């Protein structure tokens, strides 16, 4: 699955698990939203099976964020500890269509942390929303996320994905690949 990956050209990876069998790419737009009941039921399955699932920590942790987006900039305030981060995300290589066939979306990014003062003072934002994440630690670099995005009282989106932080040096990529493939198989087995 990851045999053709160039781990040198990205530092942040997300693998979304799609909630339908008919996922299609329309001009690089993929519906990663889960139905609320499916999302809750899958989270419940993970919670009940996480000891046999091989999770690093049997208890997930939760984070809440307020996100402001302007072009490629993401201004993220952690509502739990009031820390603020600013970073830019740029897509690397587009969307891997082989993953779409497996009902997943694999997205590679270059993520660059920036000083907070670099976010423009403007009311002309591209997007604003709140995020609530329930996070399971798989390894020190790989996490399983259950994310709820709330734009307003009507627009609420549910998403399940793995993220891999590839910003460390001297990583053993064969171990990373094995860990990613193992967790994907376990998740796919629970989804089906």
Model confidence pLDDT, tens digit, residues 47-56: 887 665 656 5
- Taking the whole predicted model, whether its pTM rises above 0.85 is answered as yes
CA–CA separation, 78 and 67 (whole Å)? 9
**Tens digit of pLDDT for each residue in 104-151?**
888 899 999 999 999 999 889 999 999 999 999 888 899 999 999 999
Per-residue pLDDT at 105: 87
**Tens digit of pLDDT for each residue in 28-43?**
677 889 999 999 999 9
DSSP state of 87: E
What's the pLDDT band for 97 if we cut at 50, 70, 90? Answer: confident
CA–CA separation, 68 and 125 (whole Å)? 7
How distant, in Å, are the alpha carbons of 11, 71, 87, 142, 168 from that of 171?
Answer: 12, 31, 23, 13, 7
List, in sequence order, the alpha helices (H) in 3-67.
36-53
Q: What are the chain's domains? A: 12-191 (3.20.100.10)
Choice among 28-32, 79-83, 109-113, 154-158 with the minimum mean pLDDT: 28-32
Whether 163 has a pLDDT exceeding 80, the answer reads yes
What's the pLDDT band for 25 if we cut at 50, 70, 90? Answer: low
CA atoms within 13 A on the CB side of 168: 10
Whether 22 has a pLDDT exceeding 70, the answer reads no
Hey, what are 91's tokens? 């897509």
Q: What is the mean pLDDT of the chain?
A: 87
């Amino acid at each position: 699955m990851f045999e053709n990956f160039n781990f040198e050209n990205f530092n942040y990876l997300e693998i979304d698990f799609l909630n339908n069998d008919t996922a299609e790419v329309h001009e690089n737009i993929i519906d990663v939203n889960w139905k609320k009941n499916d999302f809750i039921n899958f989270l419940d399955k993970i919670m009940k099976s996480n000891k046999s699932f091989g999770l690093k920590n049997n208890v997930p942790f939760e984070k809440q964020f307020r996100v402001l987006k302007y072009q490629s900039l993401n201004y993220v305030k952690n509502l739990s500890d009031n820390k603020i981060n600013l970073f830019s995300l740029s897509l690397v290589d587009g969307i891997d269509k082989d993953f779409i066939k497996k009902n997943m979306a694999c997205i590679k990014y270059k993520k660059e942390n920036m000083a907070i003062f670099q976010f423009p003072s403007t009311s002309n934002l591209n997007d604003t929303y709140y995020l609530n994440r329930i996070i399971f630690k798989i390894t020190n670099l790989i996490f399983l996320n259950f994310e709820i995005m709330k734009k307003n009282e009507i627009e609420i989106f549910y998403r399940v994905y793995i993220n891999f932080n590839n910003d460390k040096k001297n990583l053993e990529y064969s171990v990373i690949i094995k860990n990613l493939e193992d967790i994907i198989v376990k998740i796919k087995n629970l989804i089906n």
